[in-house]
Amino acid sequence: MLDENPNVRWTLVFMHHPLWAMADLEKNGWHEMEKNLAGRKYTVFCGHVHRYQKYVRNGMNYYQLATTGGGSKLRGTKYGEFDQIVWLTMKKDGPLIANIMLDGVLPEDLKVPESDEKGVVRKMQPLVAFRGKATLDGAPLKGAMVHFYKKNATTAGKFDHVGDGMTEADGSFTLSTYNAFDGIPAGEYVVVVVSFVNAEDPEMKEGTNRLPVRYAKPATTPLRVVVKADEKNEATLELTK
């Protein structure tokens, strides 16, 4: 298709998975795709993760969309979790992107319309509230993602992942499992903590973890937390360089 259209003003690429953010770009074919796109102006869009993020590769913009109808904890723009429509307007110097939040689109009577769609019924476990704090060499750890996995998890598989949260400026975080800040089931967990370079920068170019690698995988992290039912659950995760 690219060979048949060599002189277009702009190329838009739509795909499901963010292949450029995965481990082996040679194996999944994305390096070859970028070679074919070289020399032209283009923009890439994907979904799958249901978390909004903008990347810049080779001077071109790549957009990973939030949920456009799929599942999400809907914790807001800070987490990149929101229902959206992306409105794209082609200008002379390239596409202009506008993210329209669906929770702000209402009918004339301003009432949220009821839906007769059955949706997906999930089997949900009882949850308990959990607030924690993360530190690195004693200092509050800001902007890190904290992931709770089942205690016997050896890989970061989605079936072993239970809940997560993002640390605030003081290192505090609140866990979410099914919906925004709803807590986590009681149980024993291994805890993964990662913080990516420029994670707060919308033009993140590299997915480089700035924390020690031992905290990045369920099989190597030393962090353990027990969450108990009917108790006030709090814990401080003390990371060291």
CATH of the domain at 148: 2.60.40.1120
CA distance 211 to 241: 7
Report how many domains make up the chain.
Answer: 2
Q: What count of other Cβ atoms lies within 10 Å of the Cβ of residue 189?
A: 25
Residue 200 has pLDDT above 70, yes or no: no
Indicate if 151 and 223 belong to the same structural domain: yes
Q: What is the pTM of this model?
A: 0.78
> What is the chain's mean pLDDT, rounded?
89
Distances in Å between the Cα of 144 and the Cα atoms of 43, 135, 136 are: 28, 10, 11
| CA atoms within 13 A of residue 78's CA, in its CB half-sphere | 12
Supply the range of the domain harboring residue 142. Answer: 130-239
Q: Which residues contact 163 (CB under 8 A, 6 or more apart)?
A: 130, 147, 148, 175, 176, 177, 183, 184
Has residue 98 got a pLDDT over 60?
Answer: yes
72 with 155, same domain: the answer is no
Give pLDDT tens digits for 16-59: 999 998 878 899 999 999 999 999 999 999 999 899 999 999 99
